[in-house]
Amino acid sequence: MSIDAPTRYGVPQQHDWNAMSDDAFRARVREQVQSTYPGSLRYAPHRLRWSVLAPWYRHMASIGWIAPSWPTHCGGMGLSPSKLLIFLEEHERWGVARYQDHGVLLIGPLLMRFGTEAQRRRFLPGILSCDAIWCQGYSEPGAGSDLASLRTRAVRDGDAWVIDGQKTWTTLAHDATHIFVLARTDPQARKQDGITFFLVDIATPGIRVRPIRDIAGHEEFCEVFFDGVRVPADSVLGDVNGGWSIAKSLLGYERVALGSPKLCEYGLKMLEHVARLAGLEDDPSFRDAFATLHLDVIHLADAYAAFADLLVRGEPIGPDVSLLKVWSTETFQRIADLIVQCAGACAALRGDTELGGEVADVVGAWYKARPATIYGGSNEIQRNIIARQVLGLPG
C-alpha cells in the first residue's frame, strides 16, 4: 500500500510498514539486508570508515531506509517501536556495521523540534541522502562529563559568529562533512545559560581535524580545533544562549541510541562464537553465565522499546533515559569480560588470532567496552541524574 502524504525532504515510502504484520516486515527487512549488505563487512571488530560503508548506506538512502524512526513526511520510514526493533534486530543479526549516523539519530530530531523551516530544508535532505555526515562537537580537554564548563567561545561579528576553541574525542570527525558545536557566547552568564548550539560545515576555514590513535591501534576519535572560524548567524539552532536546553535534549536522544540493545546483541553473538571455539559452549558454568547476560539483554530491549516509542510519538525524553545508557554499557562490559575469560591465553593477543582452528578477534569487544561507560556522559553522572532527577534523592 502506497503512502499518499507527500514527503518534504526525502524519498517517499512505498509502503505503510506499520500496516504489515511483524513477520512480513521482518522477512522484507531480512531479504533487503541479506541481499545487499557486503558479506565481507559483516560483524566488523571495530568501527569502519565511511569510505568503506558509503556504497551500502547510500543504497539504503536511495530506497528511503536511512531514517527508520523519522516520520514519513520528513523522509523517514515512520516505524512504530515494534517495527523499529525488528529493523534493528535484523541489521544486528546480519552483522551490519554502524556508520557515522549522528545526523539521523541526533541532528535530524533536533532540527524537527527546534530548527527553522529554512534550516530543515537546508540540512535534512543531505542527512537523508548521506551527502552530509555529522559529528559531535561537545567534549573538550577540560569539559567532558562536566560539559557546562566548556571553554570554546563564539563572538558575534556583524552577520557572523567567530568560533575559537577545541573539541576532543570527536568520533570519526575525519569522515564528517558537518559538526554541531556547543560554544560559550556569554562568558558572564551562569555557565549553563551562556552556551549556544551551532551547525557548522567542517570545511569552513579555520577548522583542523587531528585523529587520535587508541589503545587498539584504531583512529576512531579525533581532536577538532577552531581558529577564528566564521559561521553565518543562521547557523545557530534555537536561541542564542539557549543551547544548553537543546544540548540536554540531544543527550536524551543520544542516550536512547547508546542504550540500544544492538551492541549487547553483537557481544552475545561474539561470546557464543568464542565459547564454541574454546570448547565451552556446553559447560554448565558458561551456560549459566550466558543465560544471565542474555536475560539482561532481553530486558534492555524491552526498556529501549519504551523510550523508542516516545521518540516516534515526538514526546520529550525524560531523565530516566539515563538508565538505558548504564544498563547497556555495563551489560556489554560483562559480556566482553566473559569473552576474554573464555578465550584464555589468546586474550593476550591483539587483533585476529587462532582459536579452536579458526581466526577470531577475541579482544575486540573488550576494547569497545572500556570507553563505553565514559562517553555520552559517564555512568557515574548517569547515576547522579537518576538519583536526583528521578528518585528525588538529596544532592
Break the chain into its structural domains and give their ranges. Answer: 17-99, 134-242, 259-390
- Report residue 260 as a C-alpha cell: 540500544
Higher per-residue pLDDT: 393 or 46 = 393
- Report residue 176 as a C-alpha cell: 564528517
When mean pLDDT is compared across 11-25, 188-202, 228-242, 367-381, the lowest value belongs to 367-381
When mean pLDDT is compared across 2-6, 152-156, 296-300, the lowest value belongs to 2-6
- Report residue 370 as a C-alpha cell: 572500556
- Active site positions, annotated: 254
CATH architecture, range 259-390: Up-down Bundle (1.20)
Q: Is the pLDDT of residue 380 over 60?
A: yes
Residue with cell 530548527: 115
H or E element that contains 264: helix 262-277
Predicted pLDDT at 194: 94
Predicted pLDDT at 173: 96
| Structure confidence by residue, pLDDT tens digits, 108-133 | 999 999 999 999 999 999 999 999 99
Q: Which fold has domain 134-242?
A: Butyryl-CoA Dehydrogenase, subunit A; domain 2 (2.40.110)
Closest CA to 25 of 85, 72, 96, 104: 85
Mean pLDDT of the chain, nearest integer = 90
| Structure confidence by residue, pLDDT tens digits, 219-242 | 889 999 999 999 999 999 999 999
- Which of 72-81, 153-162, 269-278, 378-387 has maximum average pLDDT? 153-162
When mean pLDDT is compared across 75-79, 80-84, 121-125, the lowest value belongs to 80-84
Inter-residue contact 227 to 164 (CB < 8 Å) = yes
